[in-house]
């Protein structure tokens, strides 16, 4: 199978899973394992296709972001919105800086990654199925105007996504529901929060891996980036309507089934 086809497949996987509560990191690792891809080159590639997904959020919410940036000098609402996103971003930024070396050196090692992902996938699915049933009645209905303390609490939920297989969007949306934030409102805020969180993490990781790429890789990178952007853009446009109607339960069942399949495969392989 050619590198260009690999790029298309990984771009589709990234675009589909980045904003769904199923963990894009886990799915990319699984895809790489199935496609027999390994090495720093493909690690760098998967970081770049994440940037395509980030751009999809910016494209979908460009008016919101431009209004906020333009309004910062004079608009109190714009400053409150920006402050809420920054406050929510900080816990994951600090935790990531402290733990990223341990995660890369231990939890993402080939012999450990799959059991870890199987466990977090299964437990995350069970958590969704159980906790969505007991979430309190929503008291906050506008993701653009979350109080600073609520934003901080959502940010603390996002820290869980540092573990491979724990979805960033799943942690923030489910956590937000448990904090009394209406489902669509926290889904919107999750998209806003994705931009600084993913951009920061991807930039740091890409800085460390950039040297392994060469000019001959540009076409592969470009294909993966564009595919990731297009697929993620479609997900961003449809996800909130879907989750508002059906909740996270379908994703909970998907995670449980995938977790069991991974455990079965791991045990069979051993």
pLDDT along the chain (270 residues), means of 10: 86 95 92 83 81 94 95 94 96 89 76 88 96 93 94 96 92 96 96 92 73 74 93 95 93 96 78
Burial 78-104 (b: 16+ CB within 10 A, else e): bebbbebbebbbebbbebbeeeeeebe
Determine the pLDDT at residue 58.
95
Determine the pLDDT at residue 1.
60
Determine the pLDDT at residue 204.
74
Map tokens 């993490």 to a residue: 201
User: Around Cβ 221, how many Cβ atoms within 10 Å?
Assistant: 17
What the block records as the tokens of 249 is: 């339960």
Q: Which domain holds residue 112?
A: 3-269
Tell me phi and psi for residue 181, to 5 degrees.
-95, 130
Whole-model pTM over 0.85: yes
**End-to-end Cα separation, the chain, in angstroms:** 27
Domain count, the chain: 1
What the block records as the tokens of 234 is: 């479609």
The length of the chain in residues reads 270
Instruction: Judge contact between 49 and 228, C-beta under 8 A.
Output: yes
Map tokens 């890369």 to a residue: 104
Helices H / strands E in the chain, number of each: 11, 0
What does 176-188 look like in DSSP terms, one character per residue? HHHTTB-HHHHHH
Determine the pLDDT at residue 268.
67
């Amino acid at each position: 199978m050619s590198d260009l086809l690999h790029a298309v497949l990984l771009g589709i996987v990234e675009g589909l899973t980045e904003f769904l509560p199923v963990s894009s990191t886990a799915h990319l690792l699984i895809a790489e394992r199935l496609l027999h891809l390994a090495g720093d080159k493909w690690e760098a590639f998967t970081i770049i296709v994440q940037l395509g997904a980030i751009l999809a959020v910016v494209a979908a919410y460009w008016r919101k972001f431009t209004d906020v940036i333009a309004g910062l000098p004079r608009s109190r609402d714009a400053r409150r919105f920006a402050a809420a996103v920054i406050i929510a971003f900080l816990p994951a930024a600090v935790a990531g800086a402290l733990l990223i070396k341990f995660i890369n050196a231990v939890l993402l090692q080939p012999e450990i990654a799959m059991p870890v992902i199987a466990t977090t996938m299964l437990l995350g699915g069970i958590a969704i199925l159980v906790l969505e049933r007991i979430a309190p009645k929503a008291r906050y209905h506008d993701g653009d105007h979350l109080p600073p303390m609520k934003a901080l609490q959502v940010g603390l939920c996002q820290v869980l996504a540092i573990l491979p297989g724990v979805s960033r969007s799943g942690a923030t949306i489910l956590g937000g529901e448990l904090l009394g934030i209406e489902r669509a409102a926290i889904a919107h805020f999750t998209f806003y929060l994705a931009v600084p969180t993913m951009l920061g993490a991807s930039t740091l990781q890409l800085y460390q891996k950039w040297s392994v790429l060469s000019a001959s890789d540009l076409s592969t990178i470009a294909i993966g980036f564009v595919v990731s952007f297009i697929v993620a853009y479609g997900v961003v446009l449809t996800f909130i309507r879907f989750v508002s109607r059906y909740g996270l339960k379908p994703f909970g069942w998907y995670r449980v089934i995938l977790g069991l399949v991974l455990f079965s495969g791991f045990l069979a392989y051993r």
